[in-house]
């Protein structure tokens, strides 16, 4: 399948999914990639080059915030991302939007099947 079309379809939706993941708990980048892969049964196998630009954009828009942990003893200092209040609100709006979108898209797509 032409990768560009798949990527186009995934665009936009990935942002909602990232926000959703972070709404449950704060996460590290690596964690998000693993989690996304697991939950989507391999459908969303995000690469670093896709995830991080999304996180940077979300951070620019103040929907997420990044912080470094205070490491204990020999542990590495790790960078994690968390949702801001603004991000929570945006997520709710996007979820509502997605519900309407997918409803109409399905209607339109099923319409053609009957013909």
Partner 1 sequence: MNKNKYIKGVLKLLRCSKQQKKIIQLDLENDIDMALKNGESLEEIIQRMGTPEAVAKEFNENMGVSLRRSYKKIIGIVIGIVVVLGLGIFFFIRSIMPEYQELGTSGLFKQDTVEQQMEQVILDVSHLDTQAILKKCDEKMKETMTESLLKESVSSLGELGNYQRITSQRYVEVKQNNDVCVVGEVVALYELRSVTYTITFNQNYELMGLYMK
Name the site residues for partner 1 (rule: CB under 8 A): 28-31, 33, 47-50, 52-54, 56-57, 60, 76, 78-79
**Residue linked to tokens 């926000």:** 19
CB of 29 to partner 1, least distance (A): 5
Contact 84, 2 (CB under 8 A): no
CB of 53 to partner 1, least distance (A): 4
CB of 20 to partner 1, least distance (A): 19
Contact 63, 46 (CB under 8 A): no
Between 50 and 84, name the residue whose CB sits nearer to partner 1: 50
Write the CA distances from 1 to 6, 8, 49, 66, integer angstroms.
8, 12, 21, 35
Q: Is 98 helix (H, G, I), strand (E, B) or coil?
A: helix
CB of 7 to partner 1, least distance (A): 9
Between 30 and 101, name the residue whose CB sits nearer to partner 1: 30
Between 67 and 102, name the residue whose CB sits nearer to partner 1: 67
What's the rounded Cα separation, in Å, for the pair 26 and 18? 11
Between 54 and 91, name the residue whose CB sits nearer to partner 1: 54
């Amino acid at each position: 399948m032409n990768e560009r079309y798949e990527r186009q379809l995934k665009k936009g939706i990935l942002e909602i999914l990232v926000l959703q993941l972070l709404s449950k708990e704060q996460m590290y980048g690596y964690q998000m990639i693993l989690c996304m892969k697991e939950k989507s049964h391999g459908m969303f196998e995000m690469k670093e080059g896709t995830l991080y630009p999304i996180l940077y954009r979300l951070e620019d828009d103040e929907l997420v915030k990044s912080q470094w942990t205070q490491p204990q003893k020999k542990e590495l200092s790790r960078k994690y991302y968390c949702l801001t209040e603004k991000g929570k609100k945006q997520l709710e709006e996007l979820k509502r939007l997605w519900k309407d979108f997918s409803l109409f898209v399905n209607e339109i797509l099923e319409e053609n099947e009957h013909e």
